[in-house]
A = this chain, B = another copy of it.
Amino acid sequence: MIFLDQPDEIKRVSVAVIKRLPKYYECLGNLLKNNVERVSSQELSKILGFTASQIRQDLNNFGEFGQQGYGYNVQQLYLEISKILGLDTVHKMVLIGAGNLGQALVNYGEFRTHGFDIVAVFDTNPALIGRKINNVPIYSTEEIEYFIKENEIDIAVMTVPKGEAEKVAGILEKTRIRGIWNFTPVEIKLENEDILIENVHLIDSLFTLSYRINENKLQKRLLKQKRKIFPRP
């Protein structure tokens, strides 16, 4: 890679690239488990379904990892991507809203495996406060601000009902939390731009499935429209 100008700032990596990073991470993790030592962009392409040139471009955003004729060193690339994703440190998280979804997330083992540690749950329901889910204590939502401050929490997971989303976001805005993982269907907007928000719209993925189920029918309809412009001979 050649830099024509002396870089004072690095171009922000596009969201599309960022969204592909977890796929690389997962894929390389599987290769590692199977004792694969090196892999070419062509081989990665076959597993991941992105083109080899796309893969080389994506990874070039973060440095020069591959070697012509050798490919990528699986372990090295895996560790680099885990650093890029910030997975080389432990993220302390709290979860707000101990309903079914909240409980499912606290019970989900994968988070801790990757360094995401839910250390407290908050809820308004007096029947839940004082109890534990998967050994994680449930506190009153009134204690959120204090707890986050005292325990240097990085990420808050929001699984409260729709109607409580804004209020909880307002509480979080007063803290030094760094990110909100928002499972409510409410679009959270904060004035404090230091707090990053990642929205999970489960229904988007259902829409995608629905599109794919519908795709053949749709293609036929589009084809018909286009044939009107170029009628069959």
Give me the interface of A with B, judged by CB distance under 8 Å: 3, 5-10, 12-13, 16, 18-19, 21-23, 25-26, 62-63, 83-87, 91, 99-101, 103-105, 107-108, 110-111, 114, 116, 154-155, 178-179, 181, 185, 196, 198, 200-215, 218-219, 222-223, 225-227, 229-230, 232
Q: Which of B101, B204, B222, B223 makes the CB contact (< 8 A) with A100?
A: B101
Q: B9 and A213: CB pair below 8 A? A: no
CB distance from A189 to the nearest CB of B (A): 12
Interface centre among A6, A9, A100, A215 (most CB of B within 10 A): A100
Task: Report the bound CA distance from A8 to B103 in whole Å.
Answer: 51
CB closest residue in chain B, given A105: B202
Residues of B within 8 A of A215 (CB): 12-13
Most buried by B among A107, A198, A225: A198
Indicate whether A18 sits within 8 Å of B212 (C-beta atoms), given known contacts A198-B206, A202-B200: yes
- With a 10 A CB-CB cut-off, give which of A107, A212, A227 has the most chain B CB atoms: A212
Q: List 13 A-B contacts (CB under 8 A).
A: A6-B227, A9-B223, A21-B211, A83-B218, A84-B214, A91-B213, A100-B100, A116-B210, A155-B209, A181-B209, A196-B212, A196-B213, A200-B205
